[in-house]
Amino acid sequence: MTNEEHTYSATKTGTRSILPDNMISVEEARARILEVFSVLPAVETLLGDAQGLVLAQDVSATFNIPPLANTGMDGYALHASDTTGATYDSPLELKVIGYLPAGAVFDREVAPGETVRIMTGAPMPPGTDAVVPFEETDEYDWTKADAKYQQGDWQNAPRDLVRIDVQASVGANVRAAGEDVRAGEVVLRAGTVIGPAQIGVLASIGVDRVMAHRRPIVAVLSTGDELLRPGQPLVPGKIYDANAFSLAAQVRAFGGVPRILDVALDTVEALTARIHEGLADADLLVTSAGVSRGDFDVVKTVLAAEGEVGFWTVLMKPGKPLAFGRFNAPNGRRVPHLGLPGNPVSAMMTFELFGRAAIYKMLGRLEHDAEAWRRPTVQAVALDPIRNTDGRRFYARCHAAQDAEGRWTVRLTGPQGSGVLTSMSLANAYAICPEDQDVIAPGETCEVLLVDRESPPRQPGQS
Ligand code: AMP
Ligand code: MG
């Protein structure tokens, strides 16, 4: 943090007294957060672990794909010139000199008047230049009758002649060598996000590992005396820790590796110990709770003592208080810290808006597209009123749907309190009610962020 005003330190004064009212927009908060992160180093990564990562080097093919000209159909490889004039009414016959499955190579020259029975993907036998598919021959009449064929004896042609019913042109049903990729060609450029198709291309050129920017390790720490872990018996006054699990799942969904730390009780010692644990190799520490004004000062005290931290009031709802700073890790590193509000929806929403961008930056996804963290946005007609109660930008949990004409509509998924996590679980989109607007009335159009391409299942009875 460069701006003194936004830096909080517990060294000289009491804790709450110097907290400034740092009201900032979502955009400003994101920009300040992103400044602190950089792209993580490239490491050798197995193809199976590369999904969602960014390639750090160009990848070229060392050979043609396909390596050899091969047949795109099951049929008969032949000399196209042998088929001149062939029709169903006046077919011609060629001498079958062998069978060739995919995976084998035919080692003899095929002379004019000869043909080789060939399976999809098998390399073209020397001398042949076209394939006539089975459908244009007497293959099916013949296979029904032939016992050897049914036993799969392809080595020794069990018959001498095949009837060809059509004229073939040179290259018919032949896939040329190098048709997909030419030897030496760059198939994927540095900066490419590795998705399923890119993984397929890499595998097709025989690559089993790539240089890619490594995934950020994100330590996730829940704070609060009231927290129990799921699986522990519920006792009066306590609640289950939802945030560690929802945040870890978001980390994973955005491409990071989450590390859930043990819950920190609201004491300086407990929190300090947990934070040190989290700093060992984390690229980002995410904490939830303890950053709002009414809180005990433990979290703030520890944050200030362990590094530098700013407390912001972000003009958004849910999620307003946000701490952001850097911790001094024992190994001399400075680990960015994102201190999220404790309310489960606020924690998720702020991590959606800020954590996602930070992870994308570390992954290298912002190198070629600085706004790649953006969700797809659509204009949608509100079916429910979306109310903005206090002049902060409101992100309403809703279900967005598109009708047959392509028109989007949104409906709220339930109560919008920042502790109501179920309405989050039904949402596939967030409708935005701007800072300066009191309400989006039914029938009015609003901006909507689509967060999940797959709509969550509808609850029974939900309209
Ligand atoms: P705080 O930010 O500490 O004021 O917490 C705000 C609200 O969020 C309180 O009702 C907390 O009990 C709740 N809360 C804090 N941490 C968690 C958590 N990990 N899981 C679920 N609720 C939480
Ligand atoms: Mg608390």
Three-class SS state of 253: helix
Ligand 1, atom nearest to 341 Cα: 2
pLDDT at 15 over 70: no
- Structure-token pair, residue 443: 């029938």
What's the whole-number mean pLDDT along residues 298-307? 83
Task: Pick the ligand that lies closest to the CA of residue 263.
Answer: 1
For atom 18 of ligand 1, which residue has the closest CA?
241
Measuring CA to CA, which residue among 421, 412, 428, 406 is closest to residue 462? 412
Architecture of the domain made up of 44-65+180-213:
Alpha-Beta Complex (3.90)
Ligand 1 pocket residue status of 292, Cβ below 6 Å: yes
For atom 10 of ligand 1, which residue has the closest CA?
343
Q: Which of 240, 265, 288 to mutate to test the pocket of ligand 1 (most atoms within 8 A of CB)?
A: 288
Contact yes or no for 181/187 (Cβ under 8 A): yes
Which element (helix H / strand E) includes 132?
Answer: strand 130-133
Other C-beta atoms closer than 10 Å to the C-beta of 58 total 13
CATH, range 70-175? 2.170.190.11
Q: Which fold has domain 377-450?
A: Beta-clip (2.40.340)
pLDDT at 463 over 60: no
Q: What percent of the chain has pLDDT over 70?
A: 88
Q: What's phi and psi for 434, nearest 5 deg?
A: -60, 160
Residue 434, preceding peptide bond in cis (omega within 30° of 0): no
- The string of pLDDT tens digits covering residues 314-346 is 999 998 899 999 988 878 889 999 999 999 999
CA distance 299 to 311: 11
- The string of pLDDT tens digits covering residues 386-426 is 998 888 999 999 999 999 999 999 999 999 999 999 999 99
Please give the C-alpha separations between residue 221 and each of 109, 175, 245, 297, 341, in angstroms, as whole numbers. Answer: 70, 56, 10, 17, 12
pLDDT at 454 over 60: no
Q: Domain boundaries in the chain?
A: 3-40+215-363, 44-65+180-213, 70-175, 377-450
Alpha helical stretches, state H, 79-159: 139-145, 147-150
Q: In what order do the strands lie in the sheet with 334-340?
A: 23-24, 307-314, 321-328, 334-340, 284-288, 217-222, 257-260
pLDDT at 251 over 60: yes
Other C-beta atoms closer than 10 Å to the C-beta of 96 total 17
Q: How far, in Å, from the CA of 434 to the mean position of ligand 2?
A: 29
Q: Which of 343, 346, 349, 351 to mutate to test the pocket of ligand 1 (most atoms within 8 A of CB)?
A: 343
Q: How far, in Å, from the CA of 234 to the mean position of ligand 1?
A: 16
The band of 146, judged by pLDDT with boundaries at 50, 70 and 90, is low
Other C-beta atoms closer than 10 Å to the C-beta of 277 total 15
For atom 6 of ligand 1, which residue has the closest CA?
342
pLDDT confidence of residue 200: 96
Q: How far, in Å, from the CA of 442 to the mean position of ligand 2?
A: 36
In words, the CATH class of domain 3-40+215-363 is alpha beta
Which element (helix H / strand E) includes 311?
Answer: strand 307-314
The end-to-end CA distance of the chain, in Å, is 47
List, in sequence order, every residue forming a beta bridge with 260; answer none if it has no partner.
Answer: 220
Q: How far, in Å, from the CA of 347 to the mean position of ligand 1?
A: 9
- The string of pLDDT tens digits covering residues 45-92 is 999 999 999 999 999 999 999 999 999 999 999 999 999 999 999 999
Ligand 1, atom nearest to 294 Cα: 4
Ligand 1, atom nearest to 295 Cα: 4
